A and B are shown apart, each in its own frame.
Chain A
Amino acid sequence: MKTTSVGEDVVVLPQKTRSTRRLQDRMTIVLFLLPALVLFSIFLVYPIFQSVYYSLFSWKGFGPAVNFIGLDNFKRILTDRIFLKAVGNGLLIVVSSLIIQLPLALALALMVGRKLRGRAFFRTIFFMPYVLSEVITGIMWMILFSPEPNRGFINAILILIPGLKAQPWLGDTRTVLLSIFVVLTWKFFGFHMLLYLAGLQNIPPEIEEAALIDGVNNRQMITLITIPLISSTIRTSVYLSVLGSLQVFALVWIMTKGGPVNASEVMSTYMYRFSFVRFQLGYGSAVAIVMLLISLVFSLAYLRMLRQTDYLN
C-alpha cells in the first residue's frame, strides 16, 4: 500500500482495480440488458425465424408443417393482383399521412405550443383519440359512417346541406379508402402533435427572441427558425408515421375487413385473411416476411439517408 504525504495530490490506482472495474461495468450492462434481450429474442426474433420457416411450406396451422414448397408462396404473392393492390393502398396511406397528417399535427403543435388560453384543454382533447383503443375507434366510426341518416351522424349532417345525398362511405369502393384515412388521421395526429410539442420545447427561447429582435415575421419564424430546429423530431415523426402506415391493421379490419371487394385492402388485412380465415398459414407467413422486408428496406434506406444529412451538417 502506498502512503501519500501531504504534498502529493496524485492518487495512482493499481492497474488491477481499473480493469476489474471495467469488467464489472460490462457485466452490469449485460445483466441489465439481459431481460429485454431475452424477451426480444423470444417474442420478436424467434417468431421471425419461425415465419421464415413456415413461409416455405403449405401449412394449415394444425400440427407440424410437412408440405415443403420452397419459394412458391413468394411467387404467388408477387403475382397476385390483390396483393399488389394492397401494397398500392399502403403506399397511398403512407404518402397521404405524410402530406396531410404530419403538417396538421405540426400546425396544431405550433398553435397549442404558444401561450394560448385553455391550451392545456386543447392539448388534452387533441391527444385523446390516440388513447382510445383501435377496436373501439373502428366500431364508433363505423356507426358514424352509417349510410342511414337516422343512424350515421356524418350523413345526418350531410343531408342538411341542400343538394347533397347520404353517401355509403364504407360501402362504396370509391370512398372507402378516404373514409379510413380520415379515421387514421383522427386517431394518430395527436401522437405526432405531442412529438412536435416536445420538440418545440427544446428550442432555446433566446434564439426566438433574437430572431424577433432582428424583425422576422411569423412565416419566416416558422420556416426559417422553428422547423429547422425541430428537424430531428420531424425525422422521427416521419419514420414512425411511415412504418405505422405500412402496418396499419386493426382499424381497417374492424371497419371494412379490407373490402368492399379489396378496395381498402392493405398488406396486413391480406395477411390476416389468408392466415386466419382461409387457414393458409404458410402463405400468410410468406406475406408477413414480405411486409418485414419492405419495412426493413425502408428503415435502412431512411436511416442511411439521415446519417448522410447529419454528416453534411
Chain B
Amino acid sequence: MKRFILVLFLVGILLVSGVFTALAAEAPVTVTWWHIQTIETYMVVWQKLADEYMAEHPNVTIEITTLENENFKTKMTTVMLSGEPPDLFQSWGGGVMNEYAKAGLLLDITAYLDKDGWRDTFSPGALGVYSFEGKNYGVPRDMGMVGFWYNMELFAQAGIDNPPTTWAELIADVQKLKDANITPIAVGEGDKWPGAFWWEYLATRIAGQAGFNAAYSRKGSFTDAPFIQAGEKLQELVALKPFQSGFLGATWNDEATLMGNGEAAMDLMGHWAPGLHQDNSVDKLGIGDKLGWFPFPMVEGGAGGPADALGGGNGFIVGKNASPEAVDFLKYLSSVDSQIAQVEAGFCLPVVKGAGVSVSDPYLKIIQQAAASAQYFQLYYDQAMPPAVGSVVNDSVQGIFAGTLTPEQVAQAVEDSAAQEIK
C-alpha cells in the first residue's frame, strides 16, 4: 500500500511538472503539409522554405508529406472521407475543392487574406480559382496552361519547318512524322487525363467560352454540336495511329519518359513538362534545348478564340483543423521570395505580383506570354466540374482513343453525368 502511494505521488509530480513545462514555453504547434513535388530539385525548395520558417519560429514544427500525383488523389479521398484533412495541402481548385468546402472540411481564410493586404499580392484571376461562394479557402502558387511540347530535332528530321498553327496542319505534320518513322505523339492514356486534354482543348476551340458556360450552367447541353465535333476531330487524329505502342496503358510518367528520351516528337502537357521530361529520362537531362513549345492550334470554324488557354494552376488549401500558425506559414510560402525560389527551380509560373519578372526560363517565359494573352482561361474539366463529371469525361474520352465510343456517346455520357451532378 505504501509503495502504491509512493508511485502515485511520483506519477503525479511528473504529470504536473510536464503540464507546467508545456504551459511555460510557447505552445508547440505542428503544421502538416502535403505536397506533390516528388522531383528532387523541387522537393528541396519546399524543404528549405519550411526550414527557414521553423528557424524563425522555433515553436512550430512543419511535417511535410510528399506524395506522387495519383497517389495523392487516392490518399486525399480517404482522408477527406474520414474528416481529418491535413493543415495545408495541394489543390487544383475548382469542382473538387468546392466539394471539400461544401462538406465543411476546409478553413475559411477570407479574413486572413483581408488583413495586411495579403489578398492584393495575388493576381486576382488565380486567387479566384481557390474561392467558393465568395469565401477563400486557399491561395494559388502558380498558374499555367497546357500546350504542345515538341522535339525540334525530330520535327526537322520529318521535314517540318514550323510548328502547326491550324488543326489541319497538325494532322499533316503527324502524317509527315509517321512517314519519317518517328512516333508523332506520346500520350499517357492509361491515366486518362492526358488524353482528356485533347478533347477539352478541341471543345474549347470549337465551343468557346460561351459554349462551355452554356453547358455548365445547364442552359445548354454537353450534347450540343461543338462537343460532338470535338470528338469527331479527335477521332480523325486517332485514326492516323499517331501514338506510341501501348499508349492505352501508359502513365503520364511513361509519356514523359518517351519525350525525355527523344523517342516521340510531341506531347500535349502542362507547363510542368520540361522538369518532368528530364526527371523521367534515362540521363536525367531530357532533350535539352531541342525542346520547343507551341500553343494548341486553331480549329477552322471554331467559335473559340485561337489564343484561349486550357490549364490550371496549383495552390495550397487549408484544412479545417489548421492552426493560425499554419495560415501564417502559408503566407510565408506565398511571399515573393518564395515564388522566385520556385521559379528558379523551374516548376512555377508565379501568381504573386512582382515575381513575374523573375521568370528567366525561356519555356516558362513563352507560356507566361501565351497565358497572359489568353482572353479566356478554361480550367481542366476534371477540376472545373464536380469530381463525378470530371471522371466521366476522362473515362469516356479514353473510349475515343480506344475506338470503343463514338463522339455522340462521349457527349451523352458527359451530359448525363452533368445533369445528375450539377444542380
Contact = CB atoms under 8 A, between A and B. Distances in A.
Interface of A: 60-63, 146-148, 166, 168-173, 176, 256-257, 259-261, 273, 276-281
B56 to A, nearest CB: 37
B238 to A, nearest CB: 13
Interface string B192-228: 1000000000000000000000000000000000000
Given A173-B402, A280-B388, A260 B248 contact: yes
Given A63-B103, A147-B249, 6 more contacts: A146-B254, A171-B249, A259-B190, A261-B248, A273-B391, A279-B99
Given A62-B99, A259-B398, A166 B78 contact: no
Given A256-B190, A279-B387, A166 B245 contact: yes
B77 interface: yes
B245 A168 contact: yes
A168 B243 CA distance: 12
Contacts of B104: 62-63
A260 B402 contact: yes
A171 B388 contact: no
B172 interface: no
B190 A257 contact: yes
Interface string B326-370: 000000000000000000000000000000000000000000000
Contacts of A257: 190
A276 B405 CA distance: 24
Contacts of A256: 190, 249
B190 A172 contact: no
Interface of B: 74, 77-78, 80-81, 99, 102-105, 189-190, 192, 244-250, 254, 386-388, 391-392, 398-399, 402, 404-405
A261 B190 contact: no
B402 A261 contact: yes
Contact of B248 (A259, A276, A280): A259
A176 B388 contact: no
B308 to A, nearest CB: 28
A181 B223 CA distance: 38
Nearest to A279: B387
A146 B244 CA distance: 12
A62 B103 contact: yes
A51 to B, nearest CB: 14
B74 A276 contact: yes
Question: Majority SS of interface residues in chain B?
Answer: helix
Given A62-B102, A63-B103, A173-B402, A277 B391 contact: yes
Nearest to B74: A276
30 contacts: A60-B99, A60-B103, A62-B81, A62-B102, A63-B104, A148-B245, A168-B248, A168-B249, A169-B246, A170-B246, A171-B190, A171-B248, A171-B250, A172-B248, A176-B249, A256-B249, A259-B190, A259-B248, A260-B398, A261-B248, A276-B77, A276-B78, A276-B81, A277-B391, A278-B387, A278-B388, A278-B392, A279-B77, A279-B386, A280-B388
A37 to B, nearest CB: 26
Nearest to A176: B249
Contact of B246 (A60, A61, A168): A168
B246 A147 contact: yes
Contacts of A176: 249
Contacts of B249: 147, 168-172, 176, 256, 259-260
**B80, B81, B99, B386: which has the most chain A beta carbons within 10 Å?**
B81
A292 to B, nearest CB: 20
Nearest to B96: A279
A143 to B, nearest CB: 11
Nearest to B392: A278
B189 A260 contact: yes
Contacts of A276: 74, 77-78, 81
Nearest to A257: B190
A168 B249 CA distance: 8
Contact of A279 (B189, B245, B246, B388): B388
Contacts of B74: 276
Contacts of B247: 168, 171
B22 to A, nearest CB: 35
Contacts of B77: 276-277, 279
Contacts of A168: 245-249
A147 B391 CA distance: 26
A277 B285 CA distance: 35
